[in-house]
Structure 1
Amino acid sequence: MTARRDGDKTVVMMPAGLSAAEEQEWIATVLERLARREQRRHPSDDVLFDRARELSTRYLDGRAAPLSVRWVSNQRSRWGSCTPDDGSIRLSIQLRGMPGWVVDYVLLHELTHLLEPGHGPSFWKLVNRYPKTERARGYLEGVAATAGLPLTDGEPVA
């Protein structure tokens, strides 16, 4: 039994010869497994918020305190954005499915903007506390180059 998403549809493959009741039972089981797998790969906004707080504690001495952290679908040329005035952080859904250490880097980058609005030396000194900063930046640069996104100093721009 397998299930996969095809756009807004779910395709479930199962052997022929099952009774209607068996089919319904297996469909429910496979859909539950698919939902659990997607939850691990695509954490909710609440999980993202908790992760941001952990990263702030670990790398920014807990000083960055976002009021909201959420996934957004309207960012096509930025990985994330931050509004220091209201403490909100938004991450592009394009990051979903990327390695966790890449998402962590983008979260930390945006958290750092709560403390340092620009990309000056003090900003990068804080971001570089994350041990995979250079690796994550390289990963994102490769993804951006493949997608044909314009880059300024290694950062996708609007």
Structure 2
Amino acid sequence: MSIASAYLTVRGLDIEVVRKDIKHLHIGVYPPAGRVRIAAPLRVDDDQIRLAIVQRLAWIRRQRIELQDAARQTTREMVTGESHYVWGVRKRLKVVERPGRANVEVDGDRLALYVAVETSADQRRRYLERWYREQLGAVVPDLVSKWEHRLGVTVPKWTIRKMKTKWGSCNRDTHSVWFNLELAKKHPDCLEYIVVHELTHYFEGSHGGRFSTLMDRNLPDWRLRRDELNGAPLAEEDWEV
């Protein structure tokens, strides 16, 4: 029988701890983001768990790096059979050449891209990016509205952009917020994390202790969401927040 999960932070790593009626402690690192989970005997206290983590820290970090390297995507050539991600789920691209307007549809585990004959890879990429922008644009308003209400703030303007170094950005003077187009490829929990992250900057500009306290209060699992986002399959760039 297991007890409810708890979380410990050790050397900057957020560790999920589940206590069970078992004899030995087990450490696991799980895809896609390198989530670390420990199953610990009921008799083992937090200090003993921290010591076990420190002793295995090098191994844990190697496992996380290997998972992230395995998830990294190469440049997309926009041909049938490639892997593309939609809200954190891998889809196989199916390119269908036909007359008429370009269109993108999710068909089970396939992402169907309908284009004119002999459309270039760059054109196909632009069509898909436009579709990703539509997907992101369809869900951001409700999320922003939800957190405006919870945090007691107003977002006068938000924009979707292609950004090379950030998942999101906030102008504290104008309260304008920008979201990275790549977020449409990540799990929805990651998008919500970015919304809360950027709106929290209305109250605190840095990422120091006060910022963490506000995030803990409003989105307790934000560190796990952050790690999932930063460990998710990447395109050609590396983003972190």
Which aligned segments of 4 or more residues in structure 1 are displaced greater than 3 angstroms?
37-41, 143-151
Cα-Cα RMSD: 3.7
Task: Say if 1:41 and 1:96, in contact at 8 Å, map to a contact too.
Answer: no
C-alpha distance in structure 2 between counterparts of 1:40 and 1:48, whole Å: 11
Task: Flag the structure with higher strand content.
Answer: 2
C-alpha distance in structure 2 between counterparts of 1:150 and 1:91, whole Å: 12
C-alpha distance in structure 2 between counterparts of 1:144 and 1:76, whole Å: 15
C-alpha distance in structure 2 between counterparts of 1:144 and 1:39, whole Å: 16
Deviation at 1:103, TM superposition (A): 0.4
- Quote the residue 2:105 is aligned against: 34
Deviation at 1:81, TM superposition (A): 0.5
> Of residues 190, 200, 205 in structure 2, which corresponds to 1:112?
200
Deviation at 1:71, TM superposition (A): 0.9
Q: TM-score, normalised by structure 1?
A: 0.62
1:134 to 2:223 alignment: yes
- Percent identical: 24
C-alpha distance in structure 2 between counterparts of 1:111 and 1:77, whole Å: 19
Task: Flag the structure with higher helix content.
Answer: 1
C-alpha distance in structure 2 between counterparts of 1:117 and 1:99, whole Å: 26
1:90-111 CA distance string (max 9 Å, x none): 0111211211110000111001
User: Which amino acid is 1:54 matched to?
Assistant: K
Q: TM-score, normalised by structure 2?
A: 0.43
1:55 to 2:147 alignment: yes
User: Which amino acid is 1:137 matched to?
Assistant: R
> Of residues 96, 114, 134 in structure 2, which corresponds to 1:12?
96
- Quote the residue 1:43 is aligned against: 136
User: Which amino acid is 1:118 matched to?
Assistant: S
- Quote the residue 1:19 is aligned against: none
1:33-80 CA distance string (max 9 Å, x none): 728x95798221x6413311202323x2x2x2111112101x111111
Larger of the two Rg values belongs to structure: 2
1:149 to 2:238 alignment: yes
> Of residues 83, 94, 100 in structure 1, which corresponds to 2:188?
100
C-alpha distance in structure 2 between counterparts of 1:146 and 1:39, whole Å: 14
C-alpha distance in structure 1 between counterparts of 2:201 and 2:225, whole Å: 17
- Quote the residue 2:164 is aligned against: 76
Task: Say if 1:82 and 1:90, in contact at 8 Å, map to a contact too.
Answer: yes
C-alpha distance in structure 1 between counterparts of 2:168 and 2:239, whole Å: 15
> Of residues 147, 155, 175 in structure 2, which corresponds to 1:66?
155
Structure 1: gaps of 5 or more residues:
1-5, 14-22
| Secondary structure at 1:91 match in 2 | strand
User: Which amino acid is 1:43 matched to?
Assistant: L
Pick closer, same or farther for the CA change 1:49–1:70 going to 2, 3 Å: farther
Pick closer, same or farther for the CA change 1:148–1:101 going to 2, 3 Å: same
